[in-house]
Structure 1
């Protein structure tokens, strides 16, 4: 199981990587004349990237604890 710190780092990487996938140099690689069921390849690429990011975000949201929830100290109050 990944530690909380590693999960936070991976979530940050996902954000940066996802933003990079929507940048014009990568999107323009799929600016082709080919179509799949009448849908341009560029639109299919954008939808699949969006879907992947939504699924990855849902996975991270289940694994990372809610912000501000800390475990109380187990020792007696002083």
Structure 2
């Protein structure tokens, strides 16, 4: 299992990698005349990347601790 710090780094990497996948040079690689079920390959690429990022984000959201949670102080109360 990954530690919290590694998960945070992986989530940051996912954000940067996802932004890179939507940049025009990569999107234009799928600007083809071919269609799948009448849908252009470029649109399919964008939808698949978007869906993958949503699923990956949901996975990270379940595993990363909430940012506002703190453990209660240990020790006797005065």
TM-score category (smaller protein):
over 0.9
The aligned residue for residue 17 of structure 1 is 17
How large is the Cα RMSD of the aligned pairs?
1.1
Corresponding residue SS for 1:66: coil
Q: 5 Å matches for 1:1-78?
A: 1-77=1-77
Number of aligned residues: 78
Unmatched tracts of structure 1, length 5 or more: none
Corresponding residue SS for 2:76: coil
TM-score by length of 2: 0.94
TM-score by length of 1: 0.94
- Report the alpha carbon displacement of residue 17 of structure 1 after superposing the two structures with TM: 0.2
